[in-house]
Amino acid sequence: MKNVTRREFGKTVAAAAAVAAAGIALPKFAFGEPLGEARRFPKGFLWGCATASYQVEGGAQEDGRGPSNWDVFSHTPGKTYQGDTGDVADDSYHRYREDIHLAHNLGLQTMRMSISWSRVFPSGTGQVNQKGLDYYNRVVDELLANHITPYITMFHWDLPAALPGGWQNRDTSKAFADYAGYMAKHLGDRVNHFMTTNEFTCFTDLGYKVGQFAPGLKLPDREANQVRHNGILAHGLGVQAIRANTPHGTQVGLAENANVFVPVIETPEHIEAARKATRFGNAPFLTALMEGSYMNEYLEHEGANAPRFEANDFRAIGSPLDFVGLNIYTPTYVRADHSALGFMVEQPPTSYPHMASPWLTIGPECIYWGVRNVCDLWKVPAVYITENGCSSDDVVTPEGRVEDTDRVMYLRNHLTQLHRAVAENYPVKGYFLWSLLDNFEWADGYSKRFGIHYVDFKTQKRIPKLSAEWYREVIAKNEVE
Ligand code: GBH
């Protein structure tokens, strides 16, 4: 039950007295009734923040790190906002203690971070760079010393540049499994939660078909579909390798930005349409993992360009997972129709609101439907929100504050909707806010800020934003108001 403050209580009493004096009958609920349940999360629900290696670490050429596709891409003129690169980023390679301290001050129980593959294997395979491994050992130990549980993503888009053909080459999927197995073996004594890959579409389609992300290619569908397949194969082989190298009970999953389909009106037919859309709209990726095969509709849709695969691929790709991590930012609204697929996507009007990044349209119910669609379809044992957050045009006031009320609005509304999923007993175990710090926002460089700590990229000074103060309160109370 929500606590009524003295002041609110006083106001209620005064209002009731005034109404009574005027001889008006009070509606039953107006006085002495609870004002509503607090949106409390279950005991043990994990609150965290997420980051990714290339976006925060910097130290790009230090201690033997090899170049990644994002080093190459960001150093190619015209590829990122004003030619920004991750050479320095948040300099977390040197300042990780300070950053973990920020996390500790928030009361974070967990942190999701990723590993720079080329820091540990400068050529992607073969020779290990001990100094790279040492860095991640130090970070993990520092997190544990601060009572923060590490959740580790093996691949968040920074692919060793030395791997021939990148994700066009099926051997890269095998190289990934070797690397993931190695990391799991060396961290698995202290880390119990691993994610294979982050967001298939971003490192496959956006890199190889759209060309907006590294390596910036615009391949025809037939080749691009093969890149997608190599991506999910890497995940599957990665799951097997992590399990083979860690103690029994280690939890393995992934972080996926599955398309989230929201029924345009909450009626049984539109809910069913959203479910169908979830399957088809994620057919090359999450659906293939969850069902251990490609949907026929997907293969038919791609026709002659459909991905080719080997008989055993889906034994790996369909490996049962301990959890599914969902990165959720935006909704896609759908309605039922009479087409073969049974749904139709609504086109948003030009007036549809968005956060600082134009793609980041606001529809907080996406976090509820994202969880619900996936759980209803595939009965997954556990779900985490592995990313959720937003960009804002943050400025530092003369008093040195960052008043990101729009970010607080975004977060509050999403957590309110996430609470609905929790209240309906969907197995949501934790939430990772993107991001702990402003960082290198890929093709947008440093022009878009997603952190709840402001970073002055000239001085590397960190300032907690209003949203950090707000999140701290959510964590302390384990509820959102
Ligand atoms: C996540 O991607 C990433 O995991 C994380 O690294 C990133 O920093 C964070 O979100 C915030 O972006 O410019 O219109 O073509 C979210 C999915 C996919 C959203 C690519 C932006 C580009 C859209 N992202 N997309 S557009």
Residue 54 near ligand 1, beta carbon < 6 Å:
no
52's tokens: 């990714």
Cα 84 from Cα 190, distance rounded (Å): 35
Q: Give bridge partners of residue 43 from the DSSP assignment.
A: none
Residue 199 near ligand 1, beta carbon < 6 Å:
yes
Q: What string of DSSP letters covers 353-382?
A: -B-SSTT-B--THHHHHHHHHHHHHH--S-
pLDDT tier, 1 (very low <50, low <70, confident <90, very high otherwise): very low
Q: Catalogue all structural domains in the chain, each as residue range(s) with its CATH number.
A: 39-480 (3.20.20.80)
Q: Which residue has the tokens 């190289």?
A: 175
Cβ neighbours around 212 below 10 Å, total: 14
69's tokens: 């596709």
pLDDT, residue 38, reads: 82
Which residue among 56, 329, 391, 440 is best mutated to probe the pocket of ligand 1, counting the most ligand atoms within 8 A of its Cβ? Answer: 329
For 277-297, what is each residue's pLDDT tens digit?
999 999 999 999 999 999 999
Residue % of the chain over a pLDDT of 70: 92
Identify whether the C-beta of residue 208 lies closer than 8 Å to the C-beta of residue 227: yes
Cα 328 from Cα 386, distance rounded (Å): 8
pLDDT tier, 393 (very low <50, low <70, confident <90, very high otherwise): very high
Average pLDDT over residues 351-375: 98
pLDDT, residue 30, reads: 45
Average pLDDT over residues 233-261: 99
pLDDT, residue 343, reads: 98
pLDDT, residue 24, reads: 52
Cα 206 to ligand 1 centroid, rounded to whole Å: 10
Q: Which residue has the tokens 């970070």?
A: 139
Residue 140 near ligand 1, beta carbon < 6 Å:
no
Check whether 34 has a pLDDT greater than 80.
no
Cα 267 to ligand 1 centroid, rounded to whole Å: 31
pLDDT, residue 166, reads: 99
Which residue among 116, 442, 455 is best mutated to probe the pocket of ligand 1, counting the most ligand atoms within 8 A of its Cβ? Answer: 442
Q: Is 75 in a helix, a strand, or coil? A: coil
Q: What does DSSP assign to residue 68?
A: B
Cα 444 to ligand 1 centroid, rounded to whole Å: 9
Cα 442 from Cα 447, distance rounded (Å): 10
Backbone angles phi, psi at 450, to 5 degrees: -115, 0
Cα 91 to ligand 1 centroid, rounded to whole Å: 21
Cβ neighbours around 422 below 10 Å, total: 20
pTM for the whole thing? 0.93
How would you label 117-145 residue by residue, b for 16+ Cβ within 10 Å and e otherwise? Answer: bbbbbbebbeeebeebbebbeebbebbee
What are the catalytic residues?
A: 199, 387
Protein residue with its CA nearest to atom 26 in ligand 1: 359
